[in-house]
Amino acid sequence: MRHLIRSLWHEPSPDLPPPRPGRDRALIGALLAAIALEAALHATLPDRLPALLLTIGLLPTLLWRRRRPLLMVAIAFTVTTVAPLFGDGTKAELVTTVYLLALPYCLFRWGSGRDVVLGTPVIGAAVGISYALGEMSLGDTIGCVAVAMAAFALGTALRFRARVRQRELEQVALKQREELARDLHDTVAHHVSAMAIRAQAGLAMAGTRPEAAVDALRVIEAEAGRALTELRSMVRVLRRDEPAGFDPQPQIRDLARLAGRSGTGPVVDVRLAGELGGLPSAVDTAVYRLAQESLTNALRHARHATQVTVSVTADGSTVQLSVSDDGRAAADPAGSGYGLRGMYERARLLGGTCTAGPGPVQGWLVTASLPRNAPAA
């Protein structure tokens, strides 16, 4: 029990909603009208004015019920408990005083754990003192406790419901950031890697083959244009005041563009076989991205490679991807980057697998297997 109270004591307050002064003023106005109407129609009220003033005087506690729930509970329940000591007529006898139940609710909904620990005994003491002074019968006391417990339960339930909802939103935001990071790495990083490789080749041949250096510059210019296009598309998606781009996502049929390489780099051979038509767009795009990142790693890290082979085959249930090279692979082709991690995540989200490691004979081998009818990521 002590551990539970200690953990509750350190519970922070939830984030408050945006202030709504207009709504609060409307609530106070409606309650004022209801209180005045009840006081006018309550024929058996022994002393109308003190009860009316007491009920109206506690209305301002509703204005700060969210920001200062403990203080408002202490004020309201202390006043209603002490007031009868100054005369029989000074009681909260109007039915409209039921609005004070909003304070226990707000104590559990918006208060910190410390507020809850300190405020609950205040409410309990107020009920107990009223019963001891004969202000309430045993039945009324039991009913009052039951109603207060219902307010506590409602405030607690809505508090934890809001917390669960906030965690769900955070998970969605985290998933979106991970997807953006994968797309950024698989697209822009691919073009930047190609530019770096071409720049190195151009520098190496500038003295002996100027025309090769010029060709490398043309390739760098084209890759830079593609990278800028990808970045602008992502920026449009991230900015709320601009529409997202509607360019189609790359698919398996676009792998031929990766094979269009010449010059000093290794030859890229793309082989497509099997039932590649009618694939879900998520699977189609994932295979392209996996092949693209695998090819980027091979071009950057495969030593003395002369050929990179990209093979995609499909049957009625799975799509298989294989990317291999004939060079000497580094121990860790991705270094400390996020390429392989993003590939593993992309395959796993679609219910598939992805592996990467040294080839059986030489070079580096990346294989991926995705279900043909993969679930939505």
**Within a domain: residue 192?**
no
In whole angstroms, give the CA distance from residue 234 to residue 346. Answer: 18
Token representation of residue 345: 């995540």
Strand, helix or coil for residue 240: coil
**Within a domain: residue 348?**
yes
Domain containing 305 equals 251-377
**Within a domain: residue 182?**
no
Pick the closest to residue 157 from 222, 81, 105, 204 (CA basis).
Answer: 105
In a shared domain, residues 255 and 132: no
- Mean pLDDT value of segment 267-285: 87
Helix (H) / strand (E) element for 273: namely strand 267-274
Q: How confident is the model at residue 303 (pLDDT cuts 50, 70, 90)?
A: confident
Does the pLDDT at position 335 exceed 50? no
Q: Mean of the per-residue pLDDT values for the chain?
A: 82
Q: In 52-70, which positions are buried (b, 16+ CB within 10 angstroms) versus exposed (e)? A: bebbbebbebbeebbebbb
pLDDT, one tens digit per residue, over 280-299 is: 888 888 898 899 888 878 87
Pick the closest to residue 159 from 58, 6, 27, 8 (CA basis).
Answer: 8
Final residue before a domain boundary, out of 136, 168, 198: 136
In whole angstroms, give the CA distance from residue 4 to residue 154. Answer: 20
- Mean pLDDT value of segment 71-95: 80
**Within a domain: residue 350?**
yes
Residue linked to tokens 């890229």: 268
CB neighbours (10 Å) of residue 370?
26
Does the pLDDT at position 331 exceed 60? no
Give the pLDDT score at 239: 63
**Within a domain: residue 90?**
yes
Token representation of residue 152: 């506590």
Counted domains in the chain = 2
Final residue before a domain boundary, out of 111, 136, 161: 136
User: Which has more confidence, 52 or 329?
Assistant: 52
**Within a domain: residue 211?**
no
Final residue before a domain boundary, out of 101, 136, 171: 136
Cα end-to-end distance, the chain, whole Å? 43
**Within a domain: residue 179?**
no
pLDDT, one tens digit per residue, over 118-143 is: 999 999 999 999 888 888 888 888 99
User: Which has more confidence, 215 or 347?
Assistant: 347
- Output the pTM of the full model: 0.56
DSSP string, 77-139: HHHHHHGGGG-TT-S--SGGGGGGGHHHHHHHHHS-HHHHHHHHHHHHHHHHHHHHTTSS-HH
For position 329, which CATH number holds? 3.30.565.10
What is the total residue count of the chain? 377
Provide, for the chain, the percentages of residues in helix, strand and coil under a 3-state DSSP scheme, each rounded to the nearest 5: 60, 10, 25
Token representation of residue 245: 């781009």
**Within a domain: residue 166?**
no
Q: How confident is the model at residue 88 (pLDDT cuts 50, 70, 90)?
A: low
- % pLDDT > 90, the chain: 29
